[in-house]
Structures are given as C-alpha cells and as structure tokens.
C-alpha cells in the first residue's frame, strides 16, 4: 500500500485524488476542486529543523476564504493569518519533538467543498555545514560568464529575457552550472577550497537578468543555469572533492517581476513611497549619532534600483519567509556558507533576528556580509564581533574587507605618504583592534563590481605579483575573482558588465581555451603557475591560517610583515615604490632572530638575512625563514 501511496503523491491523477480523499477523511472526488492551492512555500521541510514552528505561505485564487485544518500526529495548527490579498493564507504550525517524517495533509473547506494538499516532512540528517575560515581559498564565479556546459538551456521558453549575445556585456551569455561542475578539476588544481557563486536563483526579469541580483523566486534555480538537480549535482561534486559551497543571498530587495510583488502579498511587505525613491547609499547615517531620521530612512527604505523593490523585513510574515528560505537551501543543497549582499541596507533588527536563527539551526554555517563602505569604523559597525559599544549586534563573524581592498590598490598606484600609498596598508591592519577575530574577514583584490586588479595596476606584472603575495599571506579569508589567475584585466564601466567577461575556453566555440596551459600565453602561464603555487602553499601551511601577525611601519615605500607560529615564520616584503630599494634586515631582528636565510616557497630563491636585500621597483618577496 505504501508503494501506491508514494506513486499517488508523485503523480496526482484522478485516481490519486480519489485515493487521498478516501485515505484522509473520506472526501468524495466531486468535492475536491482542482488547483485550489497552486503553491506552498517552502515546498517541503525537515523534521527537527528550526525552532519548532513552521510558517507555510499558501497561494491559490481566493484561498483566504477557505478554512484550513489538519489532523497529523506531532503537528498543530497554531493560527491562520490572512493579508489584504485574498490569494494568500499563512499557516503557522507547531512541530512537536516526537514528530516523525511523513506526509502532512493540509485540508481546506468552504461551502461544503473540501480540498486536500499534501506537504512532505522529510528526515533531517546529522549533516552540518563545513563553514568557512582563514584556512580556505575562495573563488568567485559569475555563472553566466564562466563556462557553458549545456547549450540547450541558453534560452528558455517562457522566460522574459530571451537574449543570448556574448558580444554584449549586458545580455546573457549562456554559462551554467553544468559548465562550472565540468571545470572543478581546474579549480581543485588551482588550490581552491571554496566556491562562491553569484546568485543562481531565478531572475525572471526582462533585461540584465544574467547577474542574479534581482530574484523572482526564492525556491527555484534559474533554469538558464540548469535544473534544481543540476545545482544539487554541483554541490555534491564539490563536497566529494572537499570544496565548500558559498551561496550568495539578498535580503534587501527582490526583482520587480517576483510573483509575491506583482501579486503583492501585502503593502506592508514593500517600503512604499509616493513616487520612486532611491536609497542614498549613505550607510554612515546608520551609525551617525547626529543623523537626521529622514536620512536614515532614505538609506534603509529607499529602493536600490528602479526594478528592485525594497523589502520591509519588519513585517513578521516576510521576515519569517526569508529566514525559512535560507534555512531550506542549507539543508536542501548542503550549503556551507552564506555571503549576504547589500548587508547595510536591510533592517538592522531583522539582521539580528536572521543571523540568530540561522546560527541556531546551523552553528557551523559560514557567514560573511558585503559591506561596500568607506572607513574602518564604518565597516566595523556592521560586524557582529567587535569591541565597539553599539546597539546593532548581529551574529556576523566576517565582512568583505573593502578597507584592505582600497589599501592594496592604493599601495600599488599611489606614492607613499604620511597616511596614503603603502602606509595605508599598515594603517588598515593597525585598526584591526576593533575586531575580536579579523581573520574571518574576506580579503580580495577585485570582484564582480570592481575594476580587475591587473588593469588597476596598469598590467604591471611586478605589481600583480605583489598583490598576489599580499593576498596569500595577509590575515583573513582570501578570495580570488575568476580569471584573475590568467591576467583578465578589464576596468569597470558604469554598470559593471565590462568586468564580467567570459572565461576564454568556457564555450565550445571559443578559439582559445585558457583552462589549459596550451591555450594560455607565456605571460598568462607564468601568472597562473604563480597563483597556483602560492595557493597550494598557503593551503598546506597553517601559519597562514592561524599564525600571529607582526607588521613594521613602512619606510621609503617598503612594507614588511611577518606571519609566525611555533613551527614556522613567513616574511612578506613589498617595495611599493618606483625606485630600487635596499632592505637592511637588522631592523626586523625581533622576528628574524635565529634565522639566517629565507626561501621563496614557489620560486625556490634563497636570500641571506645577514646581507642587504636589493628590491627592484614594486618587487615583492615572500620568504619562509630558515636557520
């Protein structure tokens, strides 16, 4: 009988509906209206996940006029809540501790008519996310621009954006999950331990849908990236290789084609204005003790863009909807970490509630948030583990460290001064005292919104290597943007498309394949080999994950810092000037005492610590110190 039961659930034929009606209450077939409920979010749930309650968003034409009920051991219907839109009904369920996996039948009745909707409660495994930490090397991929593994999904019938034009930076190019999965050998060989994908949820927007930051369904993978199973296959393939998966999520806004906006659940779900009002992007108003309330409201409640409705997470139904969707993806796909987009723009109280909820469900889940802000204290305000006395205290262990990004770019493009140039690198780390654990901040040279590092430093190979040396040895979780290792060097334009070029070789029609050494130029191979060598070396050396750090005030444009523990000492030297410099090692005796030589971990070069070391303009050195 159970075999028949599961067949019925998978294939709801007329016989199946009759069977379910007889099994769960003896409802006659004629009383089972077709498609009374067309959607339930979340699509299923797991026994033991969350705080013991579950909110179901039930959608169907006029569903709020129906009376819900259920009769299932271990589940109680606490309340049914209506909104101003009669097509929605929210059910709050209590899931008892003795609840067993199975199928819950949601029952609805109206005017002597009855409707039954199955809802699956799955068994939760003991799996926990692998998390994210300074031992990792993260790689950021824009899925539409990396590799095309399945041309059949390049254009999907019914999607609003039917574009496919690789010559246009703002149209879809056809990259997908299958293409990324097929390149995992390349990434593993490079030394990558975690992959951060720009958002892969459905973006059924009429234009610019390729980047993923205007979601239209929180429970559906965009079909142009592949199927739901394709995403599960990708995460499983990563897990089998020991590569972590970082999911990019957005709390602040949706795309304006999201069905919960076009058929708005409730006006309270969206920040409403008499006319379109854009956020000011002035994040510092949230911490300014003298800020006008009007300025704070414009910052948090203004829309990010014309097609991105600003979500009001103060509404408890919406807040719960967002939180549950995030928990759902952790369990469904084996997500190891979240990267939170536009962290500063969401409601602060919601961010505290959200972070507590996901941490309670998954204590080991990795978390870091985008904080594209200016100033060390401003950045630290959004962190959840600082010495600052502030009301805003989310459980947010890591941030995208834009302050160090600004510093490394300035160090290699601007002359040294009292606070500028390479001294800014020193001063940025000097402000780490505000963080209780700065090693969980994510450090990077560029990303999907910024000019590529190789272009920023004028395609200067010495500067490029200096940036890689800094990235691989400084404190924090290093992140590499796709293509940096092969010297992709485009500069950003107004809308970012120019820095999101295709990875050459990701499409079968490409004339060159830079995933292989044969397809790369000599200069590109030198860069790739160096990045790979440094990433593998970093992965194998705990001193770069958890070792202490000592830095010396820059002199004559030369910056030196050390990473060290009881087993190893690593010295990083950066000549950020356009002149040859001589480095006297005597100044660093407190860290070099007991060592006589330094060996480069990739190049194998040996340097004496008792002699002056000559540094060419913009030359950098990474040395493992030897007795």
Q: Which residues are catalytic?
A: 341, 370
189 in Cβ contact with 535 (< 8 Å): no
DSSP collapsed to 3 states, 18-58: HHHHHHCCCCCHHHCCCCCCCEEECCCEEECCCCCEEEEEE
Q: What is the rounded distance in angstroms from the CA atom of residue 495 to the CA atom of residue 118? A: 45
Ramachandran area for residue 111 (φ above 0: left; ψ -120 to 50: alpha; else beta): left
Beta bridge partners of 138: 194, 479
Q: What is the rounded distance in angstroms from the CA atom of residue 192 to the CA atom of residue 532? A: 9
Q: What is the rounded distance in angstroms from the CA atom of residue 15 to the CA atom of residue 35? A: 16
Q: Are strands 477-481 and 138-141 parallel, antiparallel or unpaired?
A: parallel
The dihedral sign for the CA sequence 408, 411, 413, 417: positive
Single out the residue of 429, 423, 369 nearest to residue 395, CA to CA.
369
Q: What secondary structure letter does DSSP report for 142? A: -
Q: What secondary structure letter does DSSP report for 474? A: S
- Count Cβ atoms within 10 A of the Cβ of residue 561 and give its class: 0-12 exposed, 13-18 middle, 19 or more buried: buried
DSSP string, 309-322: PBB-TTSHHHHHHH
In the structure encoding, which two tokens stand for residue 81, read together? 């809540």
Q: What is the rounded distance in angstroms from the CA atom of residue 278 to the CA atom of residue 301? A: 8
Axis-axis angle for helices 316-333, 228-240 (nearest 10): 60
Q: What is the rounded distance in angstroms from the CA atom of residue 497 to the CA atom of residue 268? A: 34
Residue owning tokens 């939180």: 323
DSSP string, 90-116: EEEEEE-TT--SEEEEEEEEETTEEEE
Single out the residue of 476, 479, 478 nearest to residue 546, CA to CA.
476
């Amino acid at each position: 009988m159970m075999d028949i039961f599961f067949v019925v659930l998978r294939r709801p034929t007329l016989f199946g509906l009759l069977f379910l009606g007889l099994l769960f209450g003896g409802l006659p077939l004629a009383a089972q209206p077709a498609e009374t409920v067309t959607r339930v979010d979340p699509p299923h749930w797991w026994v033991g996940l969350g705080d013991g309650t579950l909110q179901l968003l039930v959608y169907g034409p006029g569903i709020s006029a129906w009376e819900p009920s259920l009769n299932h051991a271990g589940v109680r219907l606490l309340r049914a809540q209506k909104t101003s839109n009669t097509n929605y009904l929210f059910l709050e369920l209590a899931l008892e501790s003795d609840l067993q996996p199975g199928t819950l039948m949601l029952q609805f009745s109206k005017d002597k008519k009855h409707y039954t909707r199955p809802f699956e409660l799955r068994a939760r495994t003991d799996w926990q996310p692998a998390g994210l930490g300074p031992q990792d090397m993260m790689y950021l991929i824009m899925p539409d621009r990396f590799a095309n593994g399945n041309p059949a999904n390049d254009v999907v019938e019914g999607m609003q954006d039917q574009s496919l034009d690789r010559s246009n930076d703002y149209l879809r190019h056809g990259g997908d999950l299958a293409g990324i999965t097929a390149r995992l050998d390349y990434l593993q060989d490079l030394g990558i331990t975690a992959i951060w994908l720009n958002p892969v949820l459905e973006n059924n927007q009429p234009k610019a849908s390729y980047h993923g930051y205007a979601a239209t369904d929180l429970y559906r993978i965009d079909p142009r990236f592949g199927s739901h199973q394709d995403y599960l296959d990708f995460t499983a393939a990563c897990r089998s290789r020991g590569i972590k998966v970082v999911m990019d999520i957005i709390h602040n806004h949706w795309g304006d084609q999201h069905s919960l906006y076009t058929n708005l659940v409730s006006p309270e779900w969206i920040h409403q204005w008499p006319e379109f009002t854009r956020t000011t992007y002035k994040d510092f108003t949230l911490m300014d003790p003298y800020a006008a309330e009007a300025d704070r409201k414009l910052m948090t409640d203004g829309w990010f863009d014309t097609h991105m409705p600003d979500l009001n997470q103060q509404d408890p139904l919406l807040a719960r909807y967002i939180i549950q969707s995030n928990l759902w993806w952790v369990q469904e796909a084996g997500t190891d970490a979240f990267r939170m987009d536009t962290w500063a723009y969401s409601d602060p109280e919601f961010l505290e509630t959200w972070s507590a909820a996901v941490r309670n469900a998954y204590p080991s889940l990795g978390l870091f948030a985008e904080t594209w802000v200016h100033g060390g204290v401003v950045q630290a305000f959004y962190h959840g583990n600082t010495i600052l006395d502030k009301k805003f205290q989310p459980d947010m262990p890591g941030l995208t460290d834009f302050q160090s990004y600004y510093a490394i770019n300035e160090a290699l493009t601007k002359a040294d001064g009292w606070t500028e140039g390479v001294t800014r690198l020193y001063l940025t780390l000097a402000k780490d005292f505000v963080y209780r654990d700065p090693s969980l901040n994510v450090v990077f040279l560029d990303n999907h919104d910024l000019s590529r590092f190789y272009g920023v430093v004028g395609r200067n190979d010495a500067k490029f290597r200096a940036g890689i040396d800094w990235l691989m040895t400084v404190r924090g979780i290093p992140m590499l943007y796709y293509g940096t290792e092969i010297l992709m060097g485009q500069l950003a334009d107004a809308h970012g498309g120019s820095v999101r070029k295709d990875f050459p070789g990701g499409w079968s029609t490409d004339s060159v394949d830079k995933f292989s050494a044969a397809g790369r130029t000599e200069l590109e191979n030198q860069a790739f080999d160096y990045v790979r060598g440094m990433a593998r070396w970093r992965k194998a050396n705990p001193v770069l994950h958890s070792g202490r750090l000592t830095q010396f005030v820059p002199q004559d444009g030369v910056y030196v810092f050390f990473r060290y523990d009881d087993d190893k000492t690593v010295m990083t030297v950066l000549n950020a000037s356009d002149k040859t410099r001589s480095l006297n090692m005597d100044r660093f005796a407190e860290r070099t005492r007991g060592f006589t030589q330094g060996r480069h971990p990739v190049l194998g070069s040996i340097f004496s610590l008792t002699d002056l070391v000559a540094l060419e303009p913009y030359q950098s050195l990474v040395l493992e110190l030897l007795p």
